[in-house]
Structure 1
Amino acid sequence: MPHTELPTPGRIAEALAALRDRVRETPLLESPVLAREAGAGRLFVKAEGLQRTGSFKLRGALWRLMQLDEAARGRGVVAFSSGNFAQGLAAAGRELGVPVTIVMPVDAPEAKRRATEALGAEMVLSHHGEAPREVAAAALSRDLARERGLTLLHPFDDAEVVAGQGTAGLEAMAQMAEAGAVPEVVVSPVGGGGLMGGVGIALRSAHPTAAIWGAEPEGHDGMGRSLRAGERVAAPGGPTVCDALQAPMPGLATLAACMAAGVMGVAVADGPVIRAMARAFEELKLVLEPSGAVALAAVLAGLVPVAGKVVLVIASGGNIAFDRFAECLARAARAQG
């Protein structure tokens, strides 16, 4: 399948079948307390932060590497990432015997860099100056691919990556069915849109009337702006606690997937994100990084209409250093008090 095409629901199901023995079936947690806070009928959280490597990214990385021929596997791959895809791809490469080179912005979280190195990937740091850090990292990864003969992988703008990430949505739907629930509102974090695109395609096929929302940090809401414009639009950028959701604009494949799925966009400020991290820890005993909590933040802050509805929230990752997590919880406590 050309990587600019959209994955079908059948392709996502094929990916899930192939990945069942390689990825963890992450828990789906129901919280009556958080449902009452949000005004929802029932609220479920898909805990992808408990996936191997700490985020959903392993799903797309493994499935993408499984599509390479033997020659490409032997030469190796290169990709840019601020951390979560880096860890997922490094783990996938180690498992499948594929050499992995990661280009990571020099100001990405140190904990994510150390974790990626520990998984055996070669690390190359990129310096971006005044340019968006993903733009500089992407350019360096293209140069390395050309110089070394590596296969260049995109962390989200690739139909097979989208298909792999969409397996989280298929899993969640099956788990909800076991709990006697049908999703009426689905909210997922959005960076470049790989997870949202895959989950959106999977959900829209099974539940045509569900409302599907992509949650992004304020100033980095390129997907929401693009969905409203009907074409790719860059977000203005700016400071955000959501370090993993700073793609300057969505990919071609991911925007097309989200448009096909009827996704709507919502932007969330730092305050609600930090509060959602605290509430997830208090009520669900989950450690979420800010980027992993942005969808729950959108629901708890009343930014997505959920009154009386059955809600599925994707909590996408938990890769955060202890001191930073403690700092976020302290900020949430100060804001509450």
Structure 2
Amino acid sequence: MTVWSPTLAEFEEALEVVHQVTQPTPLESSRYLAEVLEVPRVFMKCENLQRTGAYKIRGAYNKLSQLSPEERSRGVVAASAGNHAQGVAFAARELGIKATIFTPLGVALPKLQATRSYGADVVLQGTDVEAALKAAKEFSETTGALFIPPFDDKDIITGQGTIALEVLEVEPDIETLIVPIGGGGLISGVAAAAKQWAAREGKPMRVIGVQAETTAAFLPALSAGEPVTIKATPTIADGIAVARAGMLNYGVVAQYVDEIVTVSDDDIARAILILLERAKMVVEPAGAAAVAAILAGKVKAVGQTAVVLSGGNIDPILLQRVIGHGLAAASRYQKLRILLPDRPGELVRTAQIVAANDANVIEVLHTRHGTGLPISDVELELHIETRGREHGEAVVAALSADGYEVRLEDRY
């Protein structure tokens, strides 16, 4: 297999192009993540604060700016569930190019509205990105519009890799970069740029990729020696839910990325919650994957570390659900099942014990009809708010000490 790799000079040229429309996103330090990772410092590259709310504008603008006048006159077409759509629509508007975007029927309303606001014609097609992608390619063939791929493209990759140069310009002593992976456009660009920059400067550099465990296409690809199509299952991290690694991306990742780990939806939900609470950052599920890997203990970093928060375009309704899920994943919401004698005062007594241990009852289910219940007993299901697993166990211990039979559910 012939492996293409962008040069450091190409990334530096792309950076000049990208800076025509992007804003320099902050590189924020997180003491909390540094303590968890046990490294001197952890920095967050906040692409969630980028124009259009994600890094995708970099690759899209770099790609569209390279088009000839004849290609621009034909217009462009893309397929995406969100961030790539917005990036292409924004870049096309800035360059005076007509854009058509195919997106699945279930796309989040804020992303749909944003894409339309940038002037693109949006076509709702199919129930998933694959259906939208097929329709976009058919549109390209019938109209002559240029298809803009989301990740498997040289100009897209070099555009995304400009993130690494921005990080290293501000903090040249970074030794580890942790980056989300979907199809591979972001990490192949970041890894190639960072590794080549570090080699030129005589500095160490380690790059770690993070995928959602239900759509981890790169691990089997690396084992097979080429991209393979996996059976993907749903994940909240739709921005990195890709069933097959890009061909160009695969070659760059195989050459430059040191390690790839996976995280669960629970890990991601917990990371979104921590970013809200500790960093005051609103980050979409895919954008929180790198932080999720740190919190889940999936990565071992060396020296100063940077994580890429790749996007912040999360639907408020999903954010509400994710916060609840994140609280449960962090054992901040817990469920107790308590066997009570069926007599007056027992419900009040259990509530008093919970309150005395500084926990808060948020939901109660009291039933006499559970399977296997003794005729003289009832089952009480308490949903409580705690400070974490140990606090929940302390509440259980207090109830047990008062003679109640209690079970702490592993899942909220």
Instruction: Please classify the TM superposition score into its range, dividing by the shorter chain length.
Output: over 0.9
What is the aligned-residue identity percentage? 35
User: Where does 1:63-142 land on structure 2 (aligned, <5 Å)?
Assistant: 63-128=62-127, 133-142=128-137
Gaps of 5+ in 1: none
- Aligned counterpart for 2:150 among listed residues 150, 155, 165: 155
- The offset of 1:72, in angstroms, is 1.1
Query: Is residue 52 from structure 1 mapped to residue 51 from structure 2 by the alignment?
Result: yes
Structure 2 equivalent of residue 250 of structure 1? 245
Separation of aligned partners in 2, 1:316 and 1:254: 17
- The offset of 1:207, in angstroms, is 2.4
Gaps of 5+ in 2: 333-412
Alignment check: 8 A CA contact 1:108 1:243 kept: no
- The offset of 1:42, in angstroms, is 1.2
Q: Tell me, what secondary structure is at the counterpart of 1:161?
A: helix
Query: Is residue 309 from structure 1 mapped to residue 303 from structure 2 by the alignment?
Result: yes
TM-score (normalised: structure 1): 0.92
Query: Is residue 318 from structure 1 mapped to residue 317 from structure 2 by the alignment?
Result: no
Instruction: Say what the alpha-carbon RMSD is for the aligned residues.
Output: 1.5
User: Where does 1:130-279 land on structure 2 (aligned, <5 Å)?
Assistant: 133-177=128-172, 182-208=173-199, 209-279=204-274
1:91-138 CA distance string (max 9 Å, x none):
11111101111111222222211211111111122215xxxx333222
Q: Which has the higher contact order (CA 8 A, sep 6+)?
A: 1
Alignment check: 8 A CA contact 2:209 2:257 kept: no
Structure 1 equivalent of residue 362 of structure 2? none
Give, as a single letter, the amino acid of the residue that structure 2 aligns with 1:329: I
1:198-222 CA distance string (max 9 Å, x none):
0010111122542211111111110
Give, as a single letter, the amino acid of the residue that structure 2 aligns with 1:314: V
Separation of aligned partners in 2, 1:201 and 1:210: 11
Alignment check: 8 A CA contact 1:38 1:301 kept: no
Give, as a single letter, the amino acid of the residue that structure 1 aligns with 2:148: L
- The offset of 1:249, in angstroms, is 0.8
Q: Give the number of aligned pairs.
A: 325
Segment of structure 1 superposing worse, 64-73 or 275-284: 275-284
Give, as a single letter, the amino acid of the residue that structure 2 aligns with 1:261: Y
Give, as a single letter, the amino acid of the residue that structure 2 aligns with 1:86: A
Segment of structure 1 superposing worse, 244-253 or 231-240: 231-240
- The offset of 1:326, in angstroms, is 2.5
Separation of aligned partners in 2, 1:299 and 1:252: 28
- The offset of 1:5, in angstroms, is 4.1
Larger radius of gyration: 2
Segment of structure 1 superposing worse, 238-247 or 323-332: 323-332
Separation of aligned partners in 2, 1:251 and 1:136: 18
- The offset of 1:145, in angstroms, is 0.5
TM-score (normalised: structure 2): 0.76
Segment of structure 1 superposing worse, 22-31 or 276-285: 276-285
Segment of structure 1 superposing worse, 311-320 or 253-262: 253-262
Separation of aligned partners in 2, 1:39 and 1:221: 27
Structure 1 equivalent of residue 282 of structure 2? 287
- The offset of 1:280, in angstroms, is 1.1
Query: Is residue 333 from structure 1 mapped to residue 327 from structure 2 by the alignment?
Result: yes
Give, as a single letter, the amino acid of the residue that structure 1 aligns with 2:35: R
Separation of aligned partners in 1, 2:303 and 2:232: 33
Give, as a single letter, the amino acid of the residue that structure 1 aligns with 2:273: A
